[in-house]
């Protein structure tokens, strides 16, 4: 039979493991160059592949992310999430907000993997 202290430790370990599994399914964070643009669950930003700079017309950001998933699931995430963040759809995988235009290029380089290119430019 387990002592109360040992049972407490086992319970805490199980809760930590359950939380860790849940946390793995949460969004991966946000793009480095666009603080309020979330990464779809499972995606990791390829920070060395992107670029970000300001111009007289506004900021220009190109970012790339990669991870497990499908084009359909990642597209659905952004179609459902971006309007909640103030982005208005302006075409297929394109949005506009506060003088900026965002477009996504979502591809499946191999089965089970998805690659996303984010392009943010001043709206014309």
The answer as to whether 15 is a domain residue is no
Is residue 25 very low, low, confident or very high in pLDDT (cuts 50, 70, 90)?
very low
For the chain, percent helix, then strand, then coil, each to nearest 5?
A: 30, 40, 25
The fraction of the chain above a pLDDT of 70, given in percent, is 77
Domains held by the chain: number: 1
| Residue 118 falls inside a structural domain | yes
What H or E segment, with its residue span, contains residue 4? helix 4-24
**The model's pTM:** 0.75
Is 109 domain-assigned?
yes
Q: For residue 114, is it within any domain?
A: yes
Q: Kindly state whether residue 74 falls inside one of the protein's structural domains.
A: yes
Which residues lie across from 118 on neighbouring strands? 63, 104
Q: What is the pLDDT of residues 70-117, one digit of tens each?
A: 999 999 999 999 999 999 999 999 999 999 999 999 999 999 999 999
Average pLDDT, the chain: 83
Domain assignment present for 37: yes
pLDDT value at 68 more than 80: yes
The secondary element (H helix, E strand) that includes residue 14 is: helix 4-24
Apex 112 CA angle, 20 and 66, nearest 5: 70
Residue 115 lies in a domain: yes
55 phi, psi to nearest 5 deg = -125, 175
pLDDT for the residue 33: 83
């Amino acid at each position: 039979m387990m002592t109360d202290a040992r049972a407490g430790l086992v319970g805490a370990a199980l809760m930590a493991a359950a939380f860790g599994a849940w946390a793995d399914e949460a969004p991966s964070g946000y793009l480095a160059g666009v603080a309020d643009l979330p990464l779809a669950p499972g995606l990791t930003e390829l920070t060395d592949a992107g670029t970000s700079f300001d111009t007289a017309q506004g900021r220009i950001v190109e970012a790339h992310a990669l991870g497990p998933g499908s084009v359909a699931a990642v597209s659905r995430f952004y179609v459902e999430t971006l309007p909640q963040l103030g982005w208005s759809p302006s075409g297929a995988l394109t949005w506009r907000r506060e003088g900026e235009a965002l477009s996504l290029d979502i591809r499946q380089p191999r089965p089970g993997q998805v690659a996303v290119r984010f392009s943010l430019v001043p709206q014309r």
